Amino acid sequence: MKKIDPSLLAIAFSHKKLCTRCGTCVGVCPTRAISCDEDYYPVLNPEACTECGLCERTCPGGRVDFKQLTELTFGHRHDTHAFDGHVQRTYVGYGGDDKIRKQGAGGGVITALLWDLLNRGVVDGCVVTRIDPQQPWRGQVYIARSYEALRESQQSKYMIIPVNEVIQSLLQLPGKFAYACLPCQVHGLRLYLAENPEFAKKIHVIIGLYCASSLEPFVAEEMLACKGIPFQTVKNFNFRGGQWPGRIRAILKDGRIKRLHYSNFKDGAINYLTYLYSPERCQTCIDGSAEFADISVSDAWTRDETGKYLFESHSKLIARTDLGVTTMLEAISCGALIAEDVTQSRAYKTHKLHTVKKGMKAPLRVARLHHEGKVAPLYDRAAPRASRADIWAERVESAIMALGRRRSTRMPLFKFLTSRYGTLFVKIRQWNKSRKYRNK
């Protein structure tokens, strides 16, 4: 078998645990020598590989150069250590189309922005994800070219989907495209746009999603197995179905809806999923706000002094580039997006939970792993100054997440936490939240 120099390949072929499974190496390979396995790790066909080094140069797994990405995105090398990154304007809003708003997890703002671009002919298609119609416990990337096709992409899909593998299809298609993806996928895409100026002309705008962590691609399969739901009976799977903020549930072919946990998205199973099903590479990612997208989107979880949400079924949108600002304003002016400018509001300067997880714990974890001589990504950002409590919190979180690496410990824990006995933890969480606001 032909031997390939690993220094010319994406990081997965030398250090698998550093692979983000973003799909960039699959999408950019000029000879299609790379494909994905069942868990979306890249697989190489050595006989087809020409050792061009393109997959290595565009891989966002082993090393992330924030100054380089800053220059590629904003035209300068002045990196910011603020969690939200470079911000021109901040909005809170929802989709102007009633169907889009109601079907979206956070007001349907990403779909609203994409539909506005598609409807006005600014783009010819939109790169988005959906639950796979043939395997409704897995996700897939596709190119939406119509209103109906875009609506299929609504609802959050928290499991890993190698979005950038779609680059291979885009290379063969004429026209311009809007691109919705996660932070690591934005990194890989930006690197490839710099490598291929002709392809760069095809990508009109990049919309990034805030991300605390993706989940292993088999998370929905194991949830269904825990609840004894046969795969062949499932028509669809929602992470945030029903009334906002939504619940994790399975839609069966006979029309029945099976809830897979108690309480809602904010207080229920999702809090355990991010510990038990968080991939190792996600645990060492320090970009939680899609810093290098033109527009970044997150849920608007801001509460008032009594603990009540200020904006239910809304999202926060950060316009980072001139193109991002223009895209937002055009969508607002024609009513595709209903949004309020909150740029000057301190309440929207950052996202507290993401800041702690990605802005403090993840950098501390990376620094600790390097100190211990273990494999971890290389960043051109140092870990923030931390207290003993911060250091202890990182260690505890890492120990809990380590339990999720084995099915023998992961499955029983998840089954217990999503059972009626696990509601005690939900009630404790809700009580703790209410106590904070009572004490203000």
Kindly report, residue by residue over 86-99, the tens digit of the pLDDT.
Answer: 999 999 999 999 99
Q: What is the mean pLDDT of residues 63-75?
A: 97
For 56-66, how does the pLDDT look when each residue is reduced to its tens digit (9 = 90+)? 999 999 999 99
Of the two residues 346 and 322, the one the predictor is more confident about is 322
Nearest alpha carbon to residue 171 among 195, 206, 153, 152: 195
In the prediction, which pLDDT does 189 show?
Answer: 98
pLDDT, position 256: 95
CA distance 129 to 113: 15
Top-confidence residue, 299 or 41: 41
Find all residues with CB under 8 Å of 157, minimum gap 6, and list them: 129, 130, 131, 139, 239
In this predicted structure, the answer to whether residue 154 has a pLDDT above a threshold of 90 is yes
Residue 339: which pLDDT band, with cuts at 50, 70 and 90? very high
> Per-residue confidence at 440, pLDDT binned at 50, 70, 90?
low
DSSP of 161-173, one letter per residue? --GGGGHHHHTTS
Q: Among residues 237, 269, 264, which one has the least CA distance to residue 253?
A: 237
Percent of the chain beyond pLDDT 90?
77
Give the whole-number percent of the chain exceeding pLDDT 70.
96
- Beta strands per DSSP E along 263-323: 295-299, 315-319
> In 3-state terms, what secondary structure has residue 257?
strand
Q: Where are the beta strands (DSSP E) in 147-210?
A: 177-181, 203-209
In this predicted structure, the answer to whether residue 19 has a pLDDT above a threshold of 60 is yes
Asked if residues 238 and 263 have their Cβ atoms less than 8 Å apart, the reply is no
Kindly state the tokens that stand for 43: 């697989």
CB 246 within 8 A of CB 240: yes
pLDDT greater than 70 at residue 316 = yes
Q: What is the residue-averaged pLDDT of the chain?
A: 92
In angstroms, the CA 285 to CA 214 distance is: 11
Strand boundaries in 24-105, DSSP class E: 34-36, 42-44, 63-64, 89-95
What is the Cα gyration radius of the chain? 21
d(CA 229, CA 250): 9
Residue 3 pLDDT: 87
pLDDT at residue 439 is higher than 60: no
**Contact at 8 Å (CB) between 130 and 352?**
no
pLDDT at 269: 77
CA distance 213 to 241: 20
Q: For residue range 233-250, list pLDDT tens digits in order.
A: 999 999 998 888 888 999
Q: Is residue 27 predicted with pLDDT exceeding 90? A: yes
What is the CATH code for 6-62?
A: 3.30.70.20
**pLDDT of 379-396, one tens digit each?**
999 989 999 999 999 999
140-165: average pLDDT: 96
Q: Can you tell me whether residue 252 is helix, strand or coil?
A: strand
**Band (309; pLDDT cuts 50, 70, 90):** confident
